[in-house]
Amino acid sequence: MILLFAVVNVISLGQDACEFELSEAADAIDGGFLFLVSSEREQEIWLYDFNQAASNNLEMTLPIDAWGIALSPQGDEIAFAMSNYDEVAAELTVNLLNIETGNTRQVFAGDADTQITQIVDLHWISESQLGFVSNGPKQQYTIVDVNEGIAKTFRAEIPIPELNVLGGSIWGDWDIKFSPSFLNAAFLHVLDYQSTITFWNLNTKNKVDIDYQIPVRWVANNRAYSWIDDDRFLVRNQESNWLEVSLKQNLVQKMTDAGSLFQLDSPIIAPDGSSIAFLVRDIRLDSFSTMLGIWRNGELALSCIKTTSGQLQVNSEGWDDTSRYFVFSVYDYENAISEIYLLDVTRNQIADLYLLDFPSTRVSALGWVDG
């Protein structure tokens, strides 16, 4: 089943839909994408093959308590973190699963000696480097060379009170977001609505001054701001429109203009920057239905797929390298089923690729792989 997008011109919301054969959307794609099927017992790794128009279980699993799962840029290894607790101490490990061989190797271990027992934002910086932010009072981030097994931990030295306990974030009442390569950080005091977001250069250990001040009162939650790259930053303003902040150019420009009708959350930027995927709620409706929206060429396109009893699951791994296709899934709480969809931003189509009707099973995109 293929559903057309309804293009919104900030006047009306159309919901027209059409049906086509699946091959209409997927026959020109070479390769496939990996996705994770998670149940109460295990996490299975599956491959959707566009050449075969079928999903295959790769017969590989991750531990049920594995987290921070990230596919390498070449699509050949999956990084994941594990936490082990006993009566004496807590230990954290970062591991790699080789998709071709099925072998797993450990590339990092954290414990009381390293003061790294909890991490957030585990991600690939390059094919040979993993990065993550860790807990504790030092405001630190770590870069791991997966080939050499060497880890370097850096102190961010961001001027906020040092905390020894975990709060709303790993820094208590403060929230910090690091840029993809740990070049800059944005931080704010979540309870001080009169303050502004501060940008911090992690190399010079100094504040990055920009003319435009971003009030903390705009930031309702951590879905309301995000880094695009090491320079550009997205934030939603009080009118529910998104602004792009460039630190290098000291420039702020309006990215979206649909705030009078829709609340846009969780921006996921396409690799070439041409499109942004959002979770969208129509603020004119009483229900809390959620749709997927794509902001492209100055317009918001809304999917006809809408959920009021489920959850749209999206992440940056859903975009392919060409920025044409985006994979996402929908979990229906009432019926306990998950469906995977392929969005084609060029043809304004969504293809229903796969249905999982096993109870308590969810799926999420891991990333695209070559044919």
Q: Summarize pLDDT for 234-267 with one digit per residue, the tens.
A: 988 888 888 999 999 999 998 888 777 888 888 9
* pLDDT on residue 164: 40
**Triad 98, 103, 105: Cα angle to 5°:** 85
Q: Which tokens is 205 given?
A: 């250990």
**In this predicted structure, which of 85-94, 136-145, 229-238, 250-259 has the lowest mean pLDDT?**
85-94
pLDDT band of 83, cuts 50, 70, 90: confident
C-beta contacts of 152-157 below 8 A and 24+ residues apart: 153/114, 153/116, 154/182, 154/202, 156/185, 156/200, 156/202, 157/205
Residue 7 has pLDDT above 50, yes or no: no
The model's pLDDT over 338-351, given as tens digits with 9 standing for 90+, comes to 888 888 888 777 77
Q: Are 176 and 190 in contact (CB under 8 A)?
A: no
Residue recorded with tokens 């089943």: 1
pTM greater than the 0.95 cutoff? no
pLDDT band of 319, cuts 50, 70, 90: very high
* pLDDT on residue 112: 63
Residue 311 has pLDDT above 50, yes or no: yes
The model's pLDDT over 10-42, given as tens digits with 9 standing for 90+, comes to 322 334 332 323 344 455 678 889 999 887 788
Q: Are 110 and 91 in contact (CB under 8 A)?
A: yes
* pLDDT on residue 52: 83
Three-state SS at 316: helix
Cα separation, 254 vs 241, in Å, equals 7
* pLDDT on residue 181: 87
Q: Are 184 and 208 in contact (CB under 8 A)?
A: yes
* pLDDT on residue 114: 66
DSSP 29: -
Average pLDDT of the chain? 80
Cα separation, 184 vs 318, in Å, equals 25
Cα separation, 6 vs 158, in Å, equals 44
> Average of pLDDT values for 143-156?
88
> Average of pLDDT values for 147-169?
70
Cα separation, 43 vs 65, in Å, equals 9
* pLDDT on residue 191: 76
Residue 144 has pLDDT above 80, yes or no: yes
Cα separation, 275 vs 325, in Å, equals 10
Percent of the chain whose predicted confidence (pLDDT) is above 90: 28
Q: Which stretches of the chain are DSSP H helices?
A: 23-26
pLDDT band of 98, cuts 50, 70, 90: very high
Neighbours of 167 (CB within 10 A): 12
pLDDT band of 145, cuts 50, 70, 90: very high
* pLDDT on residue 61: 93
Q: Nearest-CA neighbor of 356 among 333, 336, 326?
A: 336
Q: Are 266 and 314 in contact (CB under 8 A)?
A: yes
Residue 8 has pLDDT above 50, yes or no: no
The model's pLDDT over 255-309, given as tens digits with 9 standing for 90+, comes to 888 777 888 888 999 999 899 999 888 877 766 778 888 888 888 888 877 777 7
DSSP 217: G
> Average of pLDDT values for 54-71?
91
Residue 58 has pLDDT above 90, yes or no: yes
Q: Are 278 and 295 in contact (CB under 8 A)?
A: yes
The model's pLDDT over 168-195, given as tens digits with 9 standing for 90+, comes to 455 567 788 889 888 999 988 877 777 8
Q: Which tokens is 103 given?
A: 């072998």
Residue 359 has pLDDT above 60, yes or no: no
Q: Which tokens is 20 given?
A: 């086509």
Residues contacting 190, CB < 8 A, separation 6+: 168, 169, 173, 174, 175, 216, 219
**In this predicted structure, which of 23-37, 64-78, 229-243, 310-324 has the lowest mean pLDDT?**
23-37
